[in-house]
Structure 1
Amino acid sequence: MTNFFIFSDVDIIQQIKLSCQIPDIIEAIATRKIIADSADKAGIKIEKGELQQSADNIRLNKKLIKSEDTWIWLQKHYLSLDEFKELARINLLSEKLANYLFAKQVEPFFFEHQLDYAASVTYEVVLDDEDLAWKLFYALQENKISFPEIARQYIQDPELRRVGGYCGIQHRSNFRPEIAAYVFAAHPPQILKPMITQEGIYLIWVEEIIQPQLNEPLRCKILGDLFSAWLKQQLEEVKILVQLEQ
């Protein structure tokens, strides 16, 4: 067996085909063209300083602190310096186009969908015995037992048991619809009445309801979601012709 291989463009394209990645690659190419064409029609320009900042942002996200780190990363991904600049340019065009199209829509969208961005801090135990669930519920109401004690006794999963059934900060979409309605109507701290589902009987302690605020991270998320939905629509409307050499 040889100690090294030499791969051609044909070999790489063949492997992409055999890996069934062609549809994803085509969609990515089409997305890049849609962004470039739309930015051009909108008259969006990129200044030299902005391009450098975009390149610096890529390095920061990839944790490429030293110039040597950057060169190693470029070699790993078979990118030239010019191609790295093109990557930075496309990223910046995407950001500018998203702001051009949707920056003014973020705030109205947030207030229209404000309930979707509320979050809760909950603890839960899932039981398979309804009578037991009600017994524990009333015991909690009468302070005869604490939720952590219930978690230690009835949660099977070791990791979840160690944290007392803590489910973290979750949004409405993370819950089953029927459970979400009760969780976000709670007045924390509150233990909810047992809820019967196909997975079992849920006993949930709502520690906190976190009301949403339109801060910068959420603003960026909404902007990204609106832009992604727009790109998806554009992809559905465009006709794509592919010519691959056999």
Structure 2
Amino acid sequence: MCQKILSQIIINKTAQERGITVTPEEVDIKAIRLRDEQRRENLANTQAWLAVEDWKAGIRDCLLAQKLAESLFPTKIENFFDQNRPHSDQVILYQIIVPYERVAHDILYKIEEEEISFYEAAHFYDIDERRRYHCGYKGKLYRWHLKPDKAAVVFSANTGELIDPMTTKQGSHILIVEEFIPDQLTPQRYQGILNQMFKEWIENQVDRTCSLTEKIKYAVLILRH
């Protein structure tokens, strides 16, 4: 609670310094939007909602924080996204795991010679029952789901290309990439990065502004009230 109040004090102060405000009309529009999302369509209920000052103050605080965040990081989000995008790229991956490397090479040879398809081989030979039923389907994976050496091999392969067996503690892996899905800066992704940057900024501001003693003093005052 102390951290939350200190954060709001910093948000209010910084917003005032930057000339950022939230109008009563903006609060009412947001309140009505929330009502619509929760299907509170009765007019009397809406008027009662809009009359609750504490609730409206909470909406105002959220809108003010959003406006402040957008003013603090207008150019940094795309840079952050570009720097971290490779880690968030995805791949639809199929995999066969067998106990021995020799067996994996035999299966690879049969697939290359078209004696059997990859998916048939997965159904017959994979050591994992679930993957057998799904013909080797591993799933849609982020790059960071894979170990660095495996990720490097997978993301340098071509779509549909058989990847030579890789040996791990699980066994010997034969891989094939069905599709690469590059990360995109969607509105949801943009908002997620913005929220994270703003959260880190607030935490840094609180730490810089208040010593531990001051935080305890604030906490005591809050508890007394």
Instruction: State if a TM-score over 0.5 links the two structures.
Output: yes
* Aligned twin of 1:40: 16
Task: Sort the Cα spacing of 1:191 and 1:38 in 2 relative to 1 into closer, same or farther, 3 A.
Answer: farther
Q: Distance in 1 between matches of 2:169 and 2:159?
A: 26
State whether structure 2 residue 32 is matched by structure 1 residue 66: no
Q: Is the 8 A contact 2:93 2:176 kept in 1?
A: yes
State whether structure 2 residue 89 is matched by structure 1 residue 130: no
* Aligned twin of 1:214: 185
Higher Cα Rg: structure 1 or 2?
2
| SS at 2:122 equivalent | helix
* Aligned twin of 1:77: none
| CA drift at 1:99 | 0.6
Partner deviation per Cα, 1:78-117 (whole Å, 9 max, x = no partner) = xx93232223222212211111111222223333333234
Q: Distance in 1 between matches of 2:139 and 2:66?
A: 31
Q: Is the 8 A contact 2:157 2:177 kept in 1?
A: yes
* Aligned twin of 1:14: none
* Aligned twin of 2:154: 183
Partner deviation per Cα, 1:154-174 (whole Å, 9 max, x = no partner) = 25354x544334344332222
Q: Distance in 1 between matches of 2:81 and 2:98?
A: 37
Q: Is the 8 A contact 1:30 1:235 kept in 2?
A: yes
Q: How many residue pairs get matched?
A: 210
| CA drift at 1:45 | 0.4
Q: Is the 8 A contact 2:99 2:127 kept in 1?
A: no
Q: 1:233 aligns with which of 172, 196, 204?
A: 204
The structure, 1 or 2, with the larger RCO (C-alpha pairs under 8 Å, 6+ apart) is 2
Q: Is the 8 A contact 1:118 1:212 kept in 2?
A: yes
Task: Sort the Cα spacing of 1:145 and 1:98 in 2 relative to 1 into closer, same or farther, 3 A.
Answer: farther
* Aligned twin of 1:109: 80
When normalised by structure 1's length, the TM-score is 0.69
| SS at 2:73 equivalent | helix
Q: Is the 8 A contact 2:35 2:41 kept in 1?
A: no
Q: Which consecutive unaligned segments of at least 5 residues does structure 2 have? A: 46-50
Q: Distance in 1 between matches of 2:9 and 2:39?
A: 31
Q: 2:92 aligns with which of 118, 121, 124?
A: 121
When normalised by structure 2's length, the TM-score is 0.75
| SS at 2:176 equivalent | strand
Task: Sort the Cα spacing of 1:108 and 1:155 in 2 relative to 1 into closer, same or farther, 3 A.
Answer: same
Runs of 4+ in 1 over 6 A off after TM superposition: none
**What's the RMSD between the two structures over aligned residues?**
3.1
Q: Is the 8 A contact 1:148 1:164 kept in 2?
A: yes
Q: 1:50 aligns with which of 8, 26, 30?
A: 26
